[in-house]
A and B are shown apart, each in its own frame.
Chain A
Amino acid sequence: MQIEFEMTDDILIANLDGELDHHTSAVIREEIDKTVDAFHSKHLVFNFEKVTFMDSSGIGVVMGRYNKITQLGGKLIITGCNEYIDRILDMAGIYTIATRLGSVAESIELIESEYNKEEADGDNE
């Protein structure tokens, strides 16, 4: 499994590529945490578009990152899942805590609109 990162302001996009299982999840988890810390990211977008296989280890990876991002006051979005990955994440109730969207572009748009709105609201006070 490979991981590539993209950054848009304080949004970190993690593009996963390959098979996510117990073996590969250790490195993925570490890489994401390291990158979030190094770039002071606030929000995280998981892009599963190129993930060809995932078992329940992926649930732990998403849950752990959700806890981290929530502590940072940010938002976690999941995008690009095929139906099998969706089923596994849904089974664990991941979508009751994280948002699922169709694309990375939509994810960035949502975060920017929600958080820019908050900032604008804050300015009015």
Chain B
Amino acid sequence: MNNKLEKDSVLNRMKLEFLNKSENESFARVAVAAFVAPLDPTVEELTEIKTAVSEAVSNAIIHAYDDQKEGIVTLECTVDQERRLIISVIDNGVGIADITKAREPLYTTMPGEERSGMGFTVMESFMDKLEVDSTPGEGTRITMIKNLDMAYEF
């Protein structure tokens, strides 16, 4: 997938780093919502983006680092002239051994803990594109793209 953007087509970019604490899930989705606000997304787009970010960040917080172990989750967002939003959620945790399996609906590595296994399915359904890059022992990068509808011009 070609995520490299021409320098002059980038409208805005941001990068956040935070600890793998679950209270940062709401921080992350609210931050992304505030970042895309100048593009005037629809309520539907905004809800879908926030939900997808919440899924990706929750995954990093739940799975990437062993319990009790402190780790950093990185969130990167870019918007370009074509109103394309690219979100990356990156961790340096345990990684995913079988990405195909992890992306299957209802698959979870923690069935005893009421995990639905629907995180990736929700991300796929709410965003236009989802890519998962992961190396066991090194970490995971989730990249999601959403094409925002054209805003009405007055």
Q: Report the separation of the CA atoms of residues A104 and B125 in the bound assembly, to the nearest whole angstrom.
A: 30
Report A-chain residues with C-beta under 8 Å of the C-beta of B29. 53
Report B-chain residues with C-beta under 8 Å of the C-beta of A88. 51, 118, 122
Quick one: given A22-B61, A56-B55, A64-B114, are A91 and B25 in contact (CB under 8 Å)? no
Report B-chain residues with C-beta under 8 Å of the C-beta of A21. 22, 25-26, 54, 58
Report A-chain residues with C-beta under 8 Å of the C-beta of B58. 21-22, 55, 57
List 5 tightest A-B contacts by C-beta distance, closest first.
Answer: A59-B116, A23-B22, A60-B114, A56-B118, A55-B54
User: Would you give the shortest CB distance from B20 to chain A, in whole angstroms?
Assistant: 12
User: Would you give the shortest CB distance from B122 to chain A, in whole angstroms?
Assistant: 5
Q: Report the separation of the CA atoms of residues A92 and B119 in the bound assembly, to the nearest whole angstrom.
A: 10
6 intermolecular pairs with C-beta atoms under 8 Å apart: A56-B118, A57-B116, A60-B115, A88-B51, A92-B116, A92-B118
Report B-chain residues with C-beta under 8 Å of the C-beta of A64. 114
A29–B118 CB distance below 8 A: no
Report B-chain residues with C-beta under 8 Å of the C-beta of A23. 22-23, 25-26
B47 within 8 A of A: yes
Report B-chain residues with C-beta under 8 Å of the C-beta of A57. 58, 116
Chain B, range 1-59, C-beta contacts under 8 Å to A = 22-23, 25-26, 29, 47-48, 50-51, 54-55, 58
A94 nearest CB neighbor, chain B only: B116
B26–A19 CB distance below 8 A: yes
Grouping DSSP codes into helix (H, G, I), strand (E, B) and loop, the A interface class, with mixed when no group exceeds half, is: helix
Interface centre among B48, B114, B116, B119 (most CB of A within 10 A): B116
Quick one: given A22-B62, A91-B125, are A56 and B23 in contact (CB under 8 Å)? no
Q: Mark B52-79, 1 if CB is under 8 A from A, else 0.
A: 0011001001100000000000000000
Q: Mark A95-107, 1 if CB is under 8 A from B, else 0.
A: 0000000000000
A69 within 8 A of B: no
Report A-chain residues with C-beta under 8 Å of the C-beta of B135. none
A51 within 8 A of B: no
User: Would you give the shortest CB distance from A32 to chain B, in whole angstroms?
Assistant: 12
Q: Report the separation of the CA atoms of residues A87 and B52 in the bound assembly, to the nearest whole angstrom.
A: 13
Q: Which single member of B22, B25, B50, B106 contacts A92 (CB below 8 Å)?
A: B106
Quick one: given A53-B50, A91-B122, are A22 and B114 in contact (CB under 8 Å)? no
Report B-chain residues with C-beta under 8 Å of the C-beta of A59. 116, 118
Interface centre among A23, A29, A61, A92 (most CB of B within 10 A): A23
